Amino acid sequence: MTKKKFTLIDLFAGCGGLSLGLEQAGFIPIYVNELNNDALESYLINRDNQFPYLRKKLNSNDIKDVVSDEKFFEKFKSEIKKNLNLDLKDTPVDLLVGGPPCQGFSGIGIRRSYSVDKIQLPSNHLYQDMAYMIFKIQPKIFLFENVRGLLSARWTKNGIKGEIFNDVLNTFTEIPNYIIKYKLLHAKDYGVPQNRPRVILVGLNKNYFKDVNRENIDAIEGGFLPKPTNDYPNIEEILSDLVDKDFEYGGESKFYGKAPQNKWQKMFRSNNNGNSGYLNDLSEQQYSRHSETVIKRFNFMIKNNGKIPEELKTKKFAQRVLPKVWSNNGPSITTCSLPDDFVHYSQPRSITVREMARIQTFPDWYKFYGKRTTGGIRRAGNPRTSIFDREVPKYTQIGNAVPPKLAYEIGKNFLKILKNSL
């Protein structure tokens, strides 16, 4: 008996955090869309061995080129049949997911708006293209995710609070045959060592799920989204085996400081080749260069609960020390996209790409393509011209990603729904 393949389409995929978690749950990607070349390459290089067909004609950049191509869906179905031997007429796509760029909805994005109304920014309307893809493909399940700020965002300065999300919700609700549920999830409740609140909207196709007409029920209670796992790792638990006592500023550690000490470190260091054992070679553990003044400031912060003496303060200084152990309120940090956002909990330095990747729950075998970091307008993009003209270095790719552990828990829940419908 042939094992059922549960298929996945990922739009606005970034470096692939959402896909990775869903793949770990049991889905296989059959098509990926990502505008930025570096982020798309990060996605593809981690799937070249297992899903080589994505390199052929099963990936795209700008979704607007896709939805404007009248013949795209015919070509898409043909390539799927050719490369995967799947006839989408007989075997519908199981899951379509997407997280359109959030720069226009996040708090940081709002501050960088350059006085441009959000309604004028093309990047803030990409959910409409996603909805069109859903309408044309008719997956059994779709998922839309975005930042918490979407719930309160306004189209204009004098607009109504929450009006953008109302447009988003109405757009997806108008797609025929779907029942829609949404909820604000916190990644901390699903084994991720940070708050990371995300709006998750799920649509179930009524043609395949006859028992989903539960209008007045919570998304979790109704089974659309998973219940929290309440498994809270802390920072020291996930990062301690990466600590190199002999690290050098501007240098790189290529080997682990110690063997994996707990289940979290074992999870991060597990091989991706199906063999037992753990990784020995370390990647992406390159250290930033810091001046003596900065190192002195970091040392003081580590020893004094993040406090900074007056003589070491700067106008733009906004760094925080990563806590070893969470407070009584649980995980509270949110991963940002700059290396200098956080100071290591025990060493006077900013965190590395690999450490940031672990905080996002990426495994250590996962590779990231492109520059390590960049700054200013090159990283943020200028909404006055095009927000797409920005660079997306490794730190930003990781910071923008959906934590794979959160995606994994969501994926397990979706598989349960799909299997119950067979």
User: Which residues, at least 6 apart from 241, have a Cβ–Cβ distance to it below 8 Å?
Assistant: 256, 257, 258, 259, 260, 261, 265, 269
Tens of pLDDT, residue by residue over 47-78, are 999 999 999 889 999 998 999 998 999 999 99
Which residue stretches of the chain have pLDDT < 50?
Answer: 1-2, 106-114, 120, 122, 379-380, 384, 387
Q: How far apart are CA 128 and CA 172, in angstroms?
A: 8
Domains in the chain and their CATH numbers?
6-231+403-421 (3.40.50.150), 235-371 (3.90.120.10)
pLDDT number for residue 52: 95
Bridge partners (DSSP) of residue 204 are 141, 179
Q: Which of 287, 290, 280, 292 is nearest to 372 (CA)?
A: 287
Q: How far apart are CA 325 and CA 171, in angstroms?
A: 42
Tens of pLDDT, residue by residue over 205-246, are 999 987 665 666 899 998 999 999 988 888 999 999 999 999
Q: How far apart are CA 415 and CA 134, in angstroms?
A: 19
pLDDT number for residue 135: 96
pLDDT number for residue 379: 47
Q: Which of 17, 25, 127 is nearest to 417 (CA)?
A: 25
User: Which residues, at least 6 apart from 37, have a Cβ–Cβ distance to it below 8 Å?
Assistant: 61
Q: Which of 340, 337, 241 is nearest to 297 (CA)?
A: 340
400 close to 370: Cβ distance less than 8 angstroms: no
First and final CA of the chain: distance in angstroms?
Answer: 15
- Element (H or E) spanning 178, and its range? strand 178-186
Q: Which of 202, 194, 162 is nearest to 355 (CA)?
A: 194
Residues in the chain: 422
Q: How far apart are CA 397 and CA 371, in angstroms?
A: 10
Whole-structure pTM value: 0.91
Q: How far apart are CA 18 and CA 416, in angstroms?
A: 18
Q: How far apart are CA 83 and CA 151, in angstroms?
A: 40
Q: How far apart are CA 405 and CA 422, in angstroms?
A: 26
Q: Which of 69, 68, 80 is nearest to 32 (CA)?
A: 80
Bridge partners (DSSP) of residue 143 are 97, 202
Specify the pairing of strand 59-60 against strand 27-33: parallel
The number of CA neighbours under 13 Å toward the Cβ of 420 is: 11
| Burial of 220: CB neighbours in 10 Å, binned 0-12, 13-18, 19+ | middle
How many helices (H) and strands (E) the chain has is answered by 14, 9
Residue type, 35: L
Q: How far apart are CA 94 and CA 116, in angstroms?
A: 38
233 close to 193: Cβ distance less than 8 angstroms: yes
User: Quick one: how far is CA 363 from the chain centroid?
Assistant: 14
**What is the sign, positive or negative, of the torsion defined by CA atoms of 398, 400, 405, 411?**
negative
3-state secondary structure of 227: coil
R_g of the chain computed on alpha carbons: 22
- Element (H or E) spanning 79, and its range? helix 72-84
3-state secondary structure of 350: strand
Specify the pairing of strand 27-33 against strand 6-11: parallel
Q: Which of 269, 193, 196 is nearest to 235 (CA)?
A: 193
Q: Any idea what the Cα angle at residue 112 is, between residues 373 and 342, rounded to 5°?
A: 40
Q: How far apart are CA 21 and CA 5, in angstroms?
A: 16
What does pLDDT average to over the chain? 86
Q: How far apart are CA 68 and CA 60, in angstroms?
A: 13
